[in-house]
Amino acid sequence: MAESVTAKEVALRAEVSVGTVSRVFNNYSNVSHEIRQRVLRVATDLGYQGPHRQSANTQSSTRLLKIMGFLYACHIDEGPATTDPYWDPIFHGVERECRRSNVQFVYRTVTDIRHNPQRLTELMYEMRLDGALLVGQFDSEAIRAIQASGTPVVQVDNYIPDLANSIDTILADNFQGARLAIDYLIGQGHRHIAFIAGPNGTETPPVYIHATQQRWVSYCMAFIERNWPIDHSLIEKSNLTMEGGYRACLRLLECGADFTALFCVDDITAIGAMKALREAGRDVPGDISVIGFDGIELGELITPALTTIRVNAPDLGAIAFKTLVSRVTNPSLPCVTVQLGVQLVQRASVAAISSSRPPRGL
């Protein structure tokens, strides 16, 4: 058990003094980088949680969230969360709650090391956080490595089935949101609805994103439950960027796919797809209706304004923060998975099927 590991054992394995181990975990500057990394690697291997964390574990009822980490990992290296139109409101929702609660807020992008478990554990030792939010695409190995430091964590907009009972999870209701989108399009008379999805796990290395997978499953279920065929020629994948949406839509058009509506896995992808439609001479929504997902601010500013499924991103961040506070102060509580409801926002990019172009029979 990690609780039984002592600083002396770490010192013996790392071939340093107990005092050096203490200086490493108290973040003193008079330790060389080489020795610091050696001590942290040994601590990671042994499961040593450091004097502060172990003391907190033995007095869990007195623990408080004073320093909170916001650790962000993206499936592609596109910069910090604050430059992403979806993650930025979540970031500010958390930051707002930290200010209200007088909690120190520490931000770190870990996209570059998210597949390096040892480095992730070492980072947690170095940061000496009371708790952390894991925001974005962390896999099970990464989460276990972070948990090995003894730091309480909550994951945001991510779900790992194997860890459902060992980590608190805050999600938007992606499945129901996609259902709202498809039901709305069908209600407008559309039957041939194309879909631009996200990564599907066939990439190298494989990329699995729970939110986009749930939206894909919901799209399929909407057809299956109506006994309608799923036309795979109307499905393309993207990398969740504007350029990815643009190129995915071009592929749909180039293969001659016949569709009257397009559901995109997120708003950024939809905005890229609308550019491709515009360049191809297709009117939105006169020729093709388009609907996105997330409800980012940019979608309201483009022409035509994008119909979307809105995720209340600031509330997602606020609830994640409150869940972390609860986890830090009551570490023995059962882990929870919370899904926030989403909302259909009707704007100008969707229109009912014109009587001059009736839907093809199914």
Interatomic CA distance for residues 170 and 339, integer angstroms: 6
User: Taken in order 312, 316, 322, 323, is the CA torsion positive or negative?
Assistant: positive
- Per-10-residue mean pLDDT for the chain, 362 residues long? 68 82 71 78 73 51 82 81 90 94 94 89 89 94 90 94 93 97 97 93 74 96 96 94 96 94 98 98 97 97 98 95 95 94 98 64 44
Q: Indicate the residue among 40, 58, 76 that finishes a domain.
A: 58
Residue 96 domain flag: no
Residue type, 27: N
Residue 300 domain flag: yes
Structure tokens that stand for 185 in this block: 């399009």
Structure tokens that stand for 179 in this block: 């259902």
In the prediction, which pLDDT does 195 show?
Answer: 98
Alpha carbon 227 to its chain's center = 32
- Among residues 160, 144, 92, the alpha carbon closest in space to that of 315 is found at 92
Under a CB-based contact definition with an 8 Å cutoff, are residues 268 and 296 in contact?
A: yes
CATH number at residue 52: 1.10.260.40
Under a CB-based contact definition with an 8 Å cutoff, are residues 287 and 332 in contact?
A: no
Tell me the C-alpha to C-alpha distance, in Å, between residue 349 and each of 56, 253, 284, 312, 361.
54, 18, 6, 21, 24
Residue 8 domain flag: yes
Give the contacts of 325 (CB within 8 A, at least 6 positions apart).
Answer: 65, 101, 131
Under a CB-based contact definition with an 8 Å cutoff, are residues 255 and 233 in contact?
A: yes
3-state secondary structure string across the chain? CHHHCCHHHHHHHHCCCHHHHHHHHCCCCCCCHHHHHHHHHHHHHHCCCHHHHHHHHHCHHHCCCCEEEEEEECCCCCCCHHHCCCHHHHHHHHHHHHHHHCCEEEEEECHHHCCCHHHHHHHHHHHCCCEEEEEECCCHHHHHHHHCCCCCEEEECCCCHHHCCCCEEEEECHHHHHHHHHHHHHHCCCCCEEEEECCCCCCCCCCCCHHHHHHHHHHHHHHHCCCCCCCHHHEEECCCCHHHHHHHHHHHHHCCCCCCEEEECCHHHHHHHHHHHHHCCCCCCCCCEEECCECCCHHHHCCCCCEEEECCHHHHHHHHHHHHHHHHHCCCCCCCEEEECCEEECCCCCCCCCCCCCCCCC
CATH number at residue 247: 3.40.50.2300
Phi, psi of 199 (to 5 degrees): -60, 150
Residue 27 domain flag: yes
Kindly report, residue by residue over 47-71, the tens digit of the pLDDT.
676 665 554 454 444 478 999 999 9
Tell me the C-alpha to C-alpha distance, in Å, between residue 127 and each of 50, 107, 146, 256.
12, 10, 12, 53
Place of tokens 């709305």: 184
Give the contacts of 48 (CB within 8 A, at least 6 positions apart).
Answer: 2, 5, 6, 7, 9, 10, 42
In the prediction, which pLDDT does 205 show?
Answer: 67
Q: Which domain holds residue 9?
A: 1-58
Burial 290-311 (b: 16+ CB within 10 A, else e): bbbbbbbeebeebebebbbbbb
Residue 323 domain flag: no
Residue 199 domain flag: yes
In the prediction, which pLDDT does 61 show?
Answer: 44
Residue 128 domain flag: no
In the prediction, which pLDDT does 286 show?
Answer: 95
Residue 209 domain flag: yes
Number of domains in the chain: 2
Kindly report, residue by residue over 204-219, the tens digit of the pLDDT.
667 789 999 999 999 9
pTM of the model: 0.84
